Structure 1
Amino acid sequence: MKKPNTNYTKSGRVNIAYQVFGTGSFDLVYIPGWVSNIDLMWSCPELVSFLTELGKVARVILFDKRGTGLSDRIVELSTLEERMEDITAVMDAVGSEKAILFGHSEGGSVSALFAATYPNRTVALLTFGVFAKRRFTEDYPWAPKDEQRQEVYDMIENSWGSGDMNLDSLAPSKANDKVFMDWLANYFRSGASPSAALILTKMNTSVDIIGILPSINVPTLILQRTNDIDVKIEEGKFIAKRIKGARFVEFHGDDHLFWVGNTREVLDEMIGFINALKLSDKSGGQLLTIMVAEIIQKPEVKSLISIDYEQIDEQLIQKYKGTLHHIDGNICVATFAGSAKAIHCCLDFKKTLEGLNLSLKAGIHVGDCFIEDNKLAETEAVIKTRQINSIAKSKQILISQTAKFLIPNMGLKFSSFQPSPYIALPNLFTIEDILSANVKPSMGETQILSKNGFLLDHVMQYIEDNLNSEQLTVEMLCDHLGLSERQMQRKIKAVTNKSPNQLIRSVRLHRAKELLIGKIDDVAQIAFQTGFTSPSYFSKCFKNEFGMSPSELISLD
C-alpha cells in the first residue's frame, strides 16, 4: 500500500500531522502509544500489513500527538485534555463526526478519557496493551515502582533509541530480527527527542484514569497478550471490569506491539468487533470537570454594587472553554472538558478578585454530568463538588483525587487536605500555583495573568507578530510583557522546557516549516521571512529541530 499524504491541522497554536486512508462504514482514529512518526510507520512491512487490513473495514485516521513525530514540538509539556483537543482537531479536519478510538498502550489512556468526555463523538473504544496508571499502589500492584520508573528515565537520558533501551522487550518475537529492531530504534528516535521522550514519560507517571473508567458508556473491547512484559495482563482485566459492558480478550504471546506476533488473531477480533457495531443516537451523560466557585466579600469592603459578578464569571469561564450553568448570588457553577482548564480558571479567577479586594474559594471534581438546554442536572458528582466548595476556606481551591490524577503537576503544588472527621469527603487536595508563589507580580504581569489568559499565549502571540524581525530579543519580550528576564526564563522553562531564546528560534522554525510545505517561496527567502539573516545557519537550525534539512523536506512527496 502506498503511503498516504501527510497533512496538518491546527490544535490551538500547535500543528498536528495526520494521514487518512481506507474505506468503511466507520472512521477509526488510531492513538499511538508513547511516541510515533506517521511517515516512518510506512517503512515497517509488519505495521503496513496491519494498517492495510484495518483500511479494508474502516476509514483509518493516523496522527502524531503534539510534541512527537511530524507534529510541532514547540510545547513539549501537554495534558491529557490537550491531547483530546488534538484528536478533535484531526477529526474536524477530515470531517469525522464520530469515530472508533483505537488506543495502544498509553494511547489507550487518552482514548478512554476521550470516550468518557465526548461520547457523542465516540462510536466505540478499542484498546491494546492499555494501562490505567504507571505508579505502583496497593490497589494497583502491577504498575512499576518509583525506582523502576527512574531506571526508565535514566535509559532515555543515556541510551535513547539504542539497543541499550531493551527495545526487544516490546517485541520478543522480533528480538533476532535486526531489520525490525533497527527500524524500531529509528522510529523512536524520529518520534521524539530524548528530552521530549523523558518529559512525556514523566507526565505519564503522574496520570491515573481509574476514577473515570465507570463513566465510559460506549462499546468497548480490551485486547492484551498473556505475557506482555511492559503492561501486565492483570491491568487489562482490571480496566475491563470497571467499564460497563466491556469485553476482554486475551491472546497468547508476549509482544507489547500489536503489529507483530499473532497479528491475524488480533485483526480477526478487531474486525469482528468493528463489523458488529451499530451507530447509536441515544444521548446520555458525559464526563466533565465541575467547578463550584464562591466569591467572598472582605469585611472592610462595604459595597459590591459596582461589581458585575456575572460578567467576571462569564469572561473567565469562556476564556478557558468552560460552560457557565448557574449563578446564585456569589456562587457560580461551571463545567469544563478537563481538569487543567478548571484549575487554571480558578487560579485566574482568584487573582482577578484579589485585584478587586475580594477573595475566592472553590471546589473542583470530575464526574458524570447530564446537560439539557444548558441546564446542569444535580447529579451525584455535582452535589459532591458543592460539598467540596462548602468546606473550602477563603482563598482556598480544593480538588478531588479523581480530578488531580488526570493532570501532570506542571507548575502546580498539590497538598493533602484533611477535613473534619465528621465530613465524609476523603482524598482532597489544595492547589497552589508555585510559578507565582513568593513572586510579587508587576502591574504588567498581573494584567496578563488576570485579564488576558496564560502567559505562554501572549509570549507566542508576540513572537508570531514579530516573526520576520531579526531584532526580536528576549529583552524586547520582557519589556512588552512587563516581566524581568529572570521571571521570563523561569516561567517559559517550566511550561515549554525551553529557554526564551530557544522558544523564539523554535517558533521561527515551525513557521518556516509551514511555508516550506506550502511551497510559498524558496529556502533563502523563507529564512529571511522568518527572521534568519543567514540561510546556512537557518538550514543548520532547521535540521537540528526536525531531523532533516529544508531541501529534504521540500523533496518529500
Structure 2
Amino acid sequence: MGGVVYQFGQYALDADRRRLSRDGQRVDVEPRALELLCLLIEHRDRAVSEVELCDKMGRGQAVSEAALSTWLRTARLAIGDSDTGQQVIRTVNPHGYRFVASASAVAGTPLAPPAAATEADHEIIRFCRSADGTRIAYALTGEGPPLVKTANWLTHLDLDRTNPMWVHWFDGLTRGRQLIRYDERGCGLSEWTVSSFTLDDLVDDLDSVVDAAGLDRFPLLGVSQGGAVAIAYAARHPERVSHLVLTSAYARGQQIRAGSDDERDAAEVDLNIARAGWRSQDSSFLRYFASQFLADATPAEWDAFAAYQRQTTSAANGLRFIEEFTRIDVSGIAHQVSCPTLIVHARDDARVPVAQALELATLIPDSRLILLESRNHLFTAADPAWPTFLSHLHTFLSE
C-alpha cells in the first residue's frame, strides 16, 4: 500500500515517497524543491507564509529568502508553472504562497514505476583529465548531431537542468541535437583545486572533453567568457570546428580593452565591487554583480543568482575567475578562425557592451552579426530575445 498521492492535471505527486510524475513518467526534481512542493500541496487550503516555509524547510537551520526563491522557481518549472503564469502556485501578499490548482488526494495508490531511462532522457555525468591532469566533468545529453558548448563561469552539471537560470538553455540546445557541455576547472563538478587557470588551460580542458566524447568535427557554442575559449580553440583547431556561435561574447577582457583613464577607472571599480561581494557576501555588492548578468530581473532573482554562485564554486575561485576574465585577450588570433561564425549579442548588454560584438565581427573573417533587443547578458526564459536567438542558432547550424 502506497502513501498519499496528489493528482493535479497531468501530474501525480507521491508525498510520502517524494516522487513526481507526469503522465506516468517520472519527473526529476531537485529534492529541496520537491519538498517545498509537497508542503504547499499538503496545505493547499491556505496560503503558507515565507516564514513558515523557511521554518519547515530549515529544520532548525536558517534558510535564506534567496534559497527559498530558487526552490520555488524550480518547483514551478517542474510542474509547468512559472513566476508570471502562477496557474499552480500563486504568490499571495504579503509574503506567502498557495497551491491553487485543482488537486485530489488518493490514498494507497503508488506512482507507476518509472520507465527505463535512456541516456537521451537522463544525462550521464562523466569525467576526463585535462593536459595537466585536472579532473573535468562533462555530460552528453540528447540525440542527433553534436553541439559542443564551451564552459563558462556559473555552471554545475548536477544542478543546471533544474536551475531557472540555465534550464531553458538546456532544453533549447538539445532540440534535435546531442549537447556536450562541461564544468570549467575550479567550478561545478570539475576539480576545484587547480594551480593554473590560463586561457591555454581552458582550451586544453575543451580539447580533453571533445576527445573523451569521441568527436572529430562539431559546431562550437561560446557564451560570455566561454566565447574567448571557443575562438581560441577554433583558431588552433580549424579542422575540428564546423561552425562557431558566439553570444554575449568578447575578444578582450574589461581591463585589456580599457583605452582611457575613465575606462580603466571603471574597470577597476567593477572589479573591486565583485571582489568585495565575494569576500564579504554582502547582498548589496552581490546584487550589483548579478544585475549586470540579468538586468531585467527582480532583486529576489538577483539574490537567487548570488545563492547559485555560491553553489558553483568557492569564494577564492570566484575571485580568480573574475580577475582572469578581465585579462582575457584573443583579439590577436581571432582572424585565424576560418569556419562560418554567428555572433549574437543584446543591444543593451549590461555586462559586455555591444561594441565588443562589433569588434568580434570585424576580427573574424567569415562572420555575421545579429543584435537582439535585450538588456540581459544571459538571456532568460521570459526574454523575448531568447526564442529569436534559438531560431537563429538552429538555422545557422543547419546550413
TM-score by length of 1: 0.46
Is the CA contact (8 Å cut-off) linking 1:156 and 1:165 kept in structure 2? no
Are 2:363 and 1:242 equivalent residues in the alignment? yes
Alpha-carbon contact 1:35-1:188 (below 8 Å) kept = yes
Cα gap change, 1:11 to 1:151, in 2 (>3 Å) = same
Partner of 1:272: 395
The whole-number CA distance in structure 1 between the counterparts of 2:353 and 2:164 is 27
**Which amino acid in 1 is paired with 2:268?**
D
Contact 1:11/1:85 (8 A) holds in 2 = yes
Please list, as runs of the form range in 1=range in 2, the aligned pairs for 1:74-223 lying within 5 A after superposition: 74-133=193-252, 134-135=254-255, 136-138=257-259, 144-159=266-281, 164-166=286-288, 167-175=290-298, 178=300, 180-223=301-344
Deviations 1:15-55 (A, max 9, x none): 11111112223x21112432321211112246323322321
Q: Offset at 1:190? A: 1.6
Q: Which amino acid aligns with 1:88?
A: D
Cα distance, 1:269 vs. partner? Answer: 0.8
For the structure 1 residues 198 and 3, does the alpha-carbon distance in structure 2 shift closer, same or farther, using more than 3 Å as the test?
Answer: farther
Structure 1 residues 37 and 142 mapped into 2: Cα distance closer, same or farther (>3 Å)? farther
| Residue 72, structure 1, aligned to residue 191, structure 2 | yes
Call closer, same or farther: CA 1:20–1:150 in 2, change over 3 Å: same
Aligned twin of 1:346: none
| Map of 2:46 onto structure 1 | none
- Computed over aligned residues only, the root mean square deviation of the Cα atoms, in angstroms, reads 2.4
Aligned AA for 2:361?
A
Which residue is equivalent to 1:22?
142
Once the two structures are TM-superposed, the CA of residue 161 in structure 1 deviates from its matched residue by 8.0
Distance in 2 (alpha carbons) for counterparts of 1:221 and 1:118: 18
C-alpha distance in structure 1 between counterparts of 2:166 and 2:272, whole Å? 30
User: 1:43 matched to which residue of 2?
Assistant: 162
CA-to-aligned-CA distance 1:179-218 (integer Å, 9 cap, x gap): x545422321121111101112112222211111111111
Q: Displacement of 1:139 after TM fit? A: 8.6
- Please tell me the residue identity of whatever aligns with 1:267: L
What's 2:376 paired with?
A: 255
1:189 and 1:155 map into 2 onto residues whose CA distance is 11
Could you tell me how far apart the structure 1 residues matched to 2:168 and 2:324 are?
32
2-structure distance, mates of 1:50, 1:201: 23
**Percentage identity across aligned positions?**
24
Q: Deviations over 1:255-303 (max 9, x none)?
A: 1113441211111111111111xxxxxxxxxxxxxxxxxxxxxxxxxxx
Distance, in Å, in 1 between the alignment partners of 2:261 and 2:341 is 21
Considering only CA atoms, is the larger Rg found in Structure 1 or Structure 2? 1
Distance 2:376 2:207 in 1: 30
Aligned to 2:4: none
Contiguous gaps of at least 5 residues in structure 1 = 277-557
More helix by share: 1
TM-score, normalised via structure 2 length = 0.63
Unaligned runs of 5+ in 2: 1-26, 28-120
Taking a change above 3 Å as real, the CA distance of residues 165 and 181 of structure 1, as seen in their structure-2 partners, is closer
Give the aligned residue type for 2:134.
V
1:455-474 to 2 correspondences below 5 Å: none
Q: Which has the higher contact order (CA 8 A, sep 6+)?
A: 2
Change in 2 beyond 3 A, CA 1:174/1:148: closer
Query: Closer, same or farther in 2 for the Cα pair 1:140/1:257, shift >3 Å?
Result: farther
* In 2: Cα distance, 1:195 partner to 1:248 partner: 36
SS of the equivalent of 2:239 reads helix
Q: Distance in 2 between matches of 1:92 and 1:50?
A: 24
2 CA distance for matches of 1:37 and 1:264?
A: 24
Superposition pairs of residues 271-420 of structure 1, within 5 angstroms: 271-276=394-399
